[in-house]
Amino acid sequence: MSDNPNTDKNRPLIGLAQTLGQVQRLVALTGAGVSAESGVPTFRGPGGLWRDFRAEDLATPQAFARDPRLVWEWYDWRRGLIAQVSPNPGHLALAELEGLIPEFLLITQNVDGLHRRAGSLNVLEIHGSIWEVRCTGCGGLDEDRRTPLPLMPWCRNCGALLRPNVVWFGEALDPARLQMAHEALRLAQVMLVAGTSGVVQPAASFALWAKEYGARLAEINPDPTPLTPYCDWVLQGKSGEVLPLLLTAMRQNN
């Protein structure tokens, strides 16, 4: 996307910037594409395999029950990769955008914690955090940022095996987090969707829920998604490139 505000290609960006300068309530939703720009491998496409295993082979309660050591080796490998990367300009722009909107909620499908590292405060990690561990016995929750982790990690309180505090395939989202997301979507004036394929449920439906409640939709993605036809603004490109331009346009309008 060009940084020249006078091109036809940039009209959606300018229109969105003008609208965001006037709204009180904004919800942003981010997916794996935002993290991929920092070098975090995605489940889909290149880099989605580990030792010939797919994510769907490992990120399940059944896989953990069958071979918890293998699952923890995979998560320890992922934690090691994430520990070496940094938030990209897209993460940083969203953190800055939070300070410009009176009521802002960032919903992320990512478990890497990069939004918080970038400075975002009002973050709802609907799929959990790879840096948190949960006891399979007492249910205790703790943060553990060690890399590498001891294989396998055990609970300090009851001695039971710990698991990553993430939502696995076949598991439901935390009802409290889902309710928080739903309430924000109900009140949002604009919903901004960045770096997500729009196929992982229920997050894939969040934007349509917001639209039903009256929100206008904006999408930032390199390629069209199932959500694209429903959007009021479509900004084609990487979030790390488009979001800083959006902030620049907002400043110019103020």
- List active site positions: 127
3-state SS, one letter per residue, for the chain: CCCCCCCHHHHHHHHHHHHHCCCCEEEEEECHHHHHCCCCCCCCCCCCCECCECHHHHCCHHHHHHCHHHHHHHHHHHHHHHHCCCCCHHHHHHHHHHCCCCEEEEEECCCCCHHHHHCCCCEEECCEEEEEEEECCCCCEEECCCCCCCCCCECCCCCCEEEEEECCCCCCCCHHHHHHHHHHHHHCCEEEEECCCCCCCCHHHHHHHHHHCCCEEEEEECCCCCCHHHCCEEEECCHHHHHHHHHHHHHHHC
